[in-house]
Amino acid sequence: MKTFLKKMYDWVDERVELKGLVDYMGKKYVPVHRHSVWYYFGGVSLFLFIIQVVTGILLLLYYKSGEELAFESIHFIMSKVQFGWLIRSIHSWTANLFILSAMIHMFSVYFEKSYRKPREITWMTGMLMFFLLLGFGFSGYLLPWNELAFFATKVGTDIAGVVPVVGKPLMIFLRGGDDVTGATLSRFFGFHVAVLPGIFTVFLGIHLLLVQRQGMSEPLHWKEDPEQKTMPFFPNFLLRDISLWLLVLNLLAILAVFFPWELGKKADAFAPAPAGIKPEWYFLYMFQTLKFIPGKLWILDGEVLGIGLFGAAGVLWTLVPFWDLKSARGEQNRLANYLGLFAVIYIIILTIIGWLA
């Protein structure tokens, strides 16, 4: 068996010079310290992305976009297609775990200050991918064309419409008209399976290339560490990462079997909105904040103010490598830490309030 594998490796190596790549990867080291565990979430996010691509392609074989077909086709996938229920459930659960994993990855990178020079571009491509991920979630949520998705999209696009100047045209662009209709479904489908994956893959490519090129970031206290323990990226770190991927795969399978993703009722534009319409959990803290802000605040519209604040926070967060100069100098930046901590606590509390509301 070993000889066969060696022969196979040699056969490929002879043609594509695999040795160079393996040697390069073997020379790459991952710092080992008490926060090393957070390094794995980048890999987990990548694994979840791969699952999304694979299950998404499988769903595409049967999914039919359109007001009259979308719901029925998902129902068909779940009830008639062999393992259709599993693929759909895994796709839906992975979407959620992907966002959760990406959030953990983002916050761990933030608190480790891994965005410092020379990794500004890596951080920014990661942030852009995170925004695209939210776009994936928002557009994918509508695709089954069920009641909850229909009204959540209505509310979501309504909020986008509040943005001054560009809001209204943006809302019409997203909806493909004044209301959420079959046209909205068609373009959300287009965004979900073509536009967003295309852009995402470009950013992912750059992100991974930079990670490989620059290696794993060392924490601020690394230089003071007398041991400076490391492990080879290949095969040690990669195999450990793969072990974790397998456990995540287990988790997904358990979730899909014991908590299959429900389809709900088909969307009906003429039906009254069901009570307690809420967005997906990753938008909940923003939604809840907008609910808390009074309708009119001094001369400003409450909703516009809320969206403005979130927009500004997003920009500030994305540009952190450029304003956190202290970390760039290798010093502790307590303000950045407190801001990050505030963001985490705020998101958790508001999400819980929104969930219970």
Residues that bind another protein (CB under 8 A): 75, 78-79, 85-86, 231, 235-236, 239-240, 242-244, 246-247, 249-250, 253-254, 257, 260, 263
- Dihedral over Cα of 109, 111, 112, 114: its sign: positive
Task: Choose among 180, 163, 106, 165: nearest CA to 308.
Answer: 163
Q: Which residues pair with 146 in a beta bridge?
A: 266
The encoded tokens of residue 176 equal 């493909």
Smallest gap, in angstroms, from Cβ of residue 87 to another protein? 13
Task: Choose among 101, 95, 173, 182: nearest CA to 141.
Answer: 95
Q: What are phi and psi for residue 262, nearest 5 degrees?
A: -75, 155
Instruction: Between 64 and 168, name the residue whose CB sits nearer to another protein.
Output: 64
Instruction: Between 37 and 242, name the residue whose CB sits nearer to another protein.
Output: 242
Task: Choose among 309, 318, 258, 352: nearest CA to 120.
Answer: 318
The CB density around residue 262, as the number of other CB atoms within 10 Å, is 12
Smallest gap, in angstroms, from Cβ of residue 254 to another protein? 7
Smallest gap, in angstroms, from Cβ of residue 57 to another protein? 21
d(CA 78, CA 256): 12
Instruction: Between 249 and 293, name the residue whose CB sits nearer to another protein.
Output: 249
Instruction: Between 29 and 111, name the residue whose CB sits nearer to another protein.
Output: 29
Instruction: Between 214 and 250, name the residue whose CB sits nearer to another protein.
Output: 250
Smallest gap, in angstroms, from Cβ of residue 6 to another protein? 17
Instruction: Between 42 and 84, name the residue whose CB sits nearer to another protein.
Output: 84
The encoded tokens of residue 4 equal 């066969």
The residue with tokens 């719901």 is 71
Contact (Cβ atoms closer than 8 angstroms) between residue 278 and residue 351: no
CA atoms within 13 A on the CB side of 229: 5
Contact (Cβ atoms closer than 8 angstroms) between residue 207 and residue 122: yes
Answer left, alpha or beta for residue 227, where phi above 0 means left and psi between -120 and 50 means alpha: alpha
Smallest gap, in angstroms, from Cβ of residue 277 to another protein? 24
Smallest gap, in angstroms, from Cβ of residue 20 to another protein? 21
The residue with tokens 């229909």 is 150
Kindly give the interhelix angle for 40-60 and 196-214, rounded to the nearest 10 degrees.
150
Instruction: Between 78 and 102, name the residue whose CB sits nearer to another protein.
Output: 78
Specify the DSSP class assigned to residue 82.
T
3-state secondary structure of 20: helix
Smallest gap, in angstroms, from Cβ of residue 245 to another protein? 8
Q: What are phi and psi for residue 331, nearest 5 degrees?
A: -100, 160
Instruction: Between 65 and 89, name the residue whose CB sits nearer to another protein.
Output: 89
Smallest gap, in angstroms, from Cβ of residue 43 to another protein? 13
Smallest gap, in angstroms, from Cβ of residue 253 to another protein? 6
Instruction: Between 81 and 353, name the residue whose CB sits nearer to another protein.
Output: 81
